[in-house]
Structure 1
Amino acid sequence: MNEPEKIDPRELSPLALAFVGDSVLELLVRQRLVEHHRLSAGKLNAEKVKYVSARAQFREEQLLEPLFTEDELAVFKRGRNASKASVAKHASPEEYRASTGFECLLGWLYLNGRLSRVQELFETLWQSFDPNEK
């Protein structure tokens, strides 16, 4: 069976980019947690949620937005403005839309091979974000 032609990331919907970006952030957080903490799987998951929930991603995006390039800001806004059929149980519509935009940006960077930029934003997030702050 022939592999289908690869789709250019610029042609993907914002929600497809967010689908990838959600996994990118979750993997980075999981990796960081297991590299630096000896916790049970349940406790690791509880810590992870503090970084990957819609509310946390909203706060993370606000922290990082001043660092976005013009192109990155455009991708974020495209994701934020994408229509979604549902909203998160524990986040406002504003928080949910911004978290989708943030995931969209991470997916776009990842699919464009800009892994060093993903890592740069993640390092800033990890050093500056307090997951226990409300």
Structure 2
Amino acid sequence: MDKQPEKIDPRELSPLALAFVGDSVLELLVRQRLVEHHRLSPGRLNAEKVKYVSARAQFREEKLLEPLFTEEELAVFKRGRNATKASVSKHASPEEYRTSTGFECLLGWLYLRGELPRVQALFEALWQDFDPNAPA
């Protein structure tokens, strides 16, 4: 029987690997909330989802949530923000892109550490206070 490879501690993962996971965490939470509360066609669901998961939206979400971050969470966010690769989205400024990557990094880090109640608490705060239709 093959032995499972040793599990990597989230603190050892690169910020971009954490962001890779965090992107999916946020997208799944948004998709779940949309289908639980709205009877929309798949195309409309996708259009609504994008209002929450785009780099520009994540930039605004992070600014809203940053005062709630612990010192350790803020350090993880900054590590992700500062590690962003050179390429940027054509729909976001470099600052928006870096910030959204930092936010995704934090979500991925929390998720991989098993801190699902904290992920849920941040998402609830986001869902209550973020207006996806407000001008950027």
Q: Which band: TM-score by shorter chain?
A: over 0.9
Q: Following the alignment from structure 1 to structure 2, what is the Cα–Cα distance between the partners of residues 115 and 6?
A: 18
Q: Structure 1 runs of 4+ off > 2 angstroms?
A: none
1:107 Cα shift? 0.3
Residue correspondence of structure 1 range 44-123 to structure 2 within 5 A: 44-123=45-124
For the aligned residue pairs, the C-alpha RMSD in angstroms reads 0.7
Provide the rounded CA distance (Å) in 2 between the counterparts of 1:121 and 1:58: 14
The amino acid of 1:19's aligned partner reads: F
Query: Per-residue CA shift, 1:39-64, capped at 9, x if unaligned?
Result: 00000000000000000000000000
Offset, 1:4: 1.2
Distance of 1:17 and 1:83 partners within structure 2: 12
Q: Match of 1:78, SS?
A: helix
Structure 1 Cα separation of the partners of residues 29 and 19 of structure 2 = 15
Could you tell me how far apart the structure 1 residues matched to 2:86 and 2:80 are? 14
TM-score (norm 2): 0.97
- Figure out how many residues of one structure are paired with residues of the other and give that number: 134
Deviation at 1:83, TM superposition (A): 3.4
Cα offset for 1:85? 3.0
Looking at structure 2, the residues matched to 96 and 49 of structure 1 have their Cα atoms a distance apart, in angstroms, of 15
Unaligned runs of 5+ in 2: none
Question: In the alignment, residue 120 of structure 1 is paired with which amino acid?
Answer: A
1:86 deviates by: 1.2
**2:13 matched residue in structure 1:** 12
After TM superposition, give the deviation of residue 3 of structure 1 in Å. 1.9
TM-score, normalisation: structure 1:
0.98
**SS, match of residue 38 in structure 1:** coil
% identical equivalent positions: 87
What amino acid sits opposite 1:6 in the alignment?
K
